[in-house]
Amino acid sequence: MPEPSSSARHAVLISGSPSATSRSRALLECAAAILERLGARVTLVDLATLPAAALLGRERDAAVDAALGAASSASLAVIATPVYRATYTGLLKVFFDLMRPDTLRGTVALAIATAASAEHALAIPLGIAPLVASVGAIVAPVGVFATDAEFQDRRPTAALEARLTQAVSDARVLAQALHHSPS
């Protein structure tokens, strides 16, 4: 079996929470650790640290350009967001508005969302999945949705961490399969 190309080992992890003590970002950091254990090269993009004027498209910024570059060259993108008003955050939306329609073409995207209420679990299939698909991503079939009750001291419960581990491993297998050379 051929070795995966270097791009097949690159994963970008995007945090869409504006919170400094973010639960969804905590899940993203767990996802990064899982991917690193699996041998992936990871780039974590925390949108809360990027300049607002550039995210709104009012000016160019090297860090925002680098984040977009990391997204466009990744074989796997893990997108984490809190549910705000029944969908992803505005912070995540403005970043995706900067992408070209093919920025995530061929990239496997895994969605992670946290919310106060389980009633808003549909934010993944009705919000995040169409968002990432609009820029060409192949959406991993099983996302990770968690409520605030599944965190203790802002750390995920063991059951949630197990769900995350399974979803991240599956998404990586899919990304590797898609990015293997056919020869």
Ligand X SMILES: Cc1cc2nc3c(=O)[nH]c(=O)nc-3n(C[C@H](O)[C@H](O)[C@H](O)COP(=O)(O)O)c2cc1C
> Residue from 8, 12, 14, 24 that binds ligand X (CB under 6 A)?
24
Q: Does 116 bind ligand X (CB under 6 A)?
A: yes
Of 29 and 61, which CB lies nearer to ligand X in the complex structure?
29
State the Cα–Cα distance between residues 130 and 110, nearest whole angstrom: 12
17 binds ligand X (CB under 6 A): yes
Among 9, 78, 112, 120, binds ligand X (CB under 6 A): 120
Distances (CA, A) of 65 to 42, 55, 69, 174: 17, 10, 6, 27
CA distance 162 to 18: 26
Interface with ligand X (CB under 6 A), residue from 4, 14, 22, 163: 22
Candidate list 43, 72, 107, 114; residue touching ligand X; CB under 6 A: 114
Residue 23 is a binding residue for ligand X (CB under 6 A): yes
Query: CB within 8 A of 158, min separation 6: which ones?
Result: none
Q: Which stretch binds ligand X (CB under 6 A): 34-42, 92-100, 102-110, 112-120?
A: 112-120
* 86 versus 126: smaller Cβ distance to ligand X: 86
179 lines the binding site for ligand X (CB under 6 A): no
Identity of the amino acid at 121: A
Residue window 36-65: x/- pattern of binding to ligand X, with contact defined by CB under 6 A:
------------------------------
Contacts with ligand X by CB under 6 A: the residue count is 17
Residues numbered 74 to 103 that lie near ligand X (CB under 6 A) are 82-86
Residues that bind ligand X (CB under 6 A): 17, 19, 22-25, 82-86, 114-117, 120, 148
